[in-house]
Chain A
């Protein structure tokens, strides 16, 4: 079974802090994704990566950056956290290919920015 592990289930940070959310997958998947989930809005794609050091913007990249130095790890960075970034963040991975591939998700990180 694919295991996608997010480093924290709950995180509380202050406005202006630099925040790192970490995600690790153990199945050698090429693709990795970061989403945020908000009530009434479903899941929205922030960034995705299809290879080491490769990244592409999703639908809502503003205020975020990502890093993928190793195949199994994909980090989401909030450069200067703001209260409107309080949300549930979900990481996912999938095999090489496009949107025909099922994505496998982590448990999520519930981030609160005070």
Chain B
């Protein structure tokens, strides 16, 4: 069975703190894809990053970084020096090769306090 677990339901941090959002996935496929999406209060999910299962390089984009570790089936997302505008619900998703479907986690609500 395929599954995505985001164990952190809600996180609150003070502005400028670093914060890591956890994502653990389960799949028996050797080829798969991992995604992170941001859902601000406006409602639209915004695509942040995609990783395929053969690429374990970590990625950094500005204040965002992602740590993909196949050994622990994790794809964690870190925001450095958080800002109020980072407040949103963040979803991790797993895409299985040969299908159209994503398996979404239940999301982590991040609140960044000024």
Contact = CB atoms under 8 A, between A and B. Distances in A.
B29 to A, nearest CB: 10
B28 to A, nearest CB: 15
Given A40-B106, A42-B91, A42-B105, A100 B43 contact: no
Contacts, number: 64
Contacts of B104: 42-44
B70 to A, nearest CB: 17
Interface residues of B, number: 25
B99 A45 contact: no
A-side binding surface: helix, strand, loop or mixed? strand
Q: Which range holds the interface residue count of chain A? A: 20 to 34
B98 to A, nearest CB: 6
Given A99-B95, A100-B33, A100-B52, A105 B101 contact: no
15 contacts: A9-B43, A31-B100, A40-B106, A42-B104, A43-B45, A45-B102, A48-B100, A50-B100, A98-B95, A99-B33, A99-B95, A99-B97, A102-B35, A105-B44, A106-B44
Interface of A: 9, 31, 33, 40-45, 48, 50, 56, 58, 88, 90, 92, 98-100, 102-108, 110
9 smallest beta-carbon distances between A and B, as pairs: A99-B95, A108-B43, A105-B45, A42-B106, A42-B104, A43-B104, A102-B47, A107-B44, A107-B43
